[in-house]
Amino acid sequence: MTETRESNYAGVFDGTIGFGERPAIIVIDFIRAYTTKGSPFYAEGVVSAVAESVELLKTARTAGVPVIYTKVLYHPTGRDGGLFVKKVPVLRTLVEGEPLAEIDDSIPPEPDDLVIAKNYPSCFFGTSLIGTLTAERIDTLVLIGCSTSGCVRATAIDGLQHGFRVIVPRECAGDRHEGPHDANLFDINAKYGDVVSKAEVIARFNAISRNAA
């Protein structure tokens, strides 16, 4: 009988971290490039994840949970993208003024939300994110966004390495193909954080609202 990945990981890579006391949502690269048909980055899995995230973001804001967006943005020369834009040249199209580089219209940032521009997969690399989270005494990162196999995974790893609890609501992460998406959710849950249902995260946020009332 062929061993399943779940049975192979059992007892070694099946622990949980759970929520801490002060969560924040990181909305990773939910930009129009991934949700606009005809774009080289277009991914139906991301379109679905964006739609699933509307309710989650509304609940977070009601609970007073900080929301931080990231988007990919480069200098017209692409020099600030280093070898990443050499590996993926189409990234160089994401420059200031390019409509596809903007946050998807269905989940726009609100006045109190931060929007951080980044040049590499991890939201931590070369950005002010760690300083902001530390100053606000955040201990839990709820990661939503795309792509699951790229920037979500990279941020989950760095989040753990910086000492944050990492939570990924599975419905709110998206990728170009189900294979990499599923494999990376499995790996994140095994090693770097907890992959849970959107309903579980919403229930946690609702509890924060009740406790604050």
Q: Residue 56's pLDDT is what?
A: 98
Assess whether 151 carries a catalytic annotation.
yes
Q: What is the mean pLDDT of residues 73-81?
A: 97
Q: For residue range 82-120, list pLDDT tens digits in order.
A: 999 999 999 999 999 999 999 999 999 999 999 999 999
Q: Residue 2's pLDDT is what?
A: 79
Q: Residue 210's pLDDT is what?
A: 86
- Based on its alpha-carbon atoms, the radius of gyration of the chain, rounded to whole angstroms, reads 17
> pTM for the full model?
0.95
129 — pLDDT class (breaks 50, 70, 90): very high
SS3 188: helix
- What CATH class is the domain 20-212? alpha beta
Q: For residue range 188-207, list pLDDT tens digits in order.
A: 999 999 999 999 999 999 99
1 — pLDDT class (breaks 50, 70, 90): low
Q: For residue range 19-74, list pLDDT tens digits in order.
A: 999 999 999 999 999 999 999 999 999 999 999 999 999 999 999 999 999 999 99
Examine the pLDDT at 213 and tell me if it is beyond 90: no
Q: Residue 6's pLDDT is what?
A: 87
Q: Outline where DSSP puts E strands in the chain.
A: 23-28, 67-72, 114-118, 140-146, 165-169, 173-174, 194-196
Q: Are strands 140-146 and 173-174 parallel, antiparallel or unpaired?
A: parallel
Catalytic: which of 123, 146, 151, 172?
A: 151
Longest CA span, the chain: 56
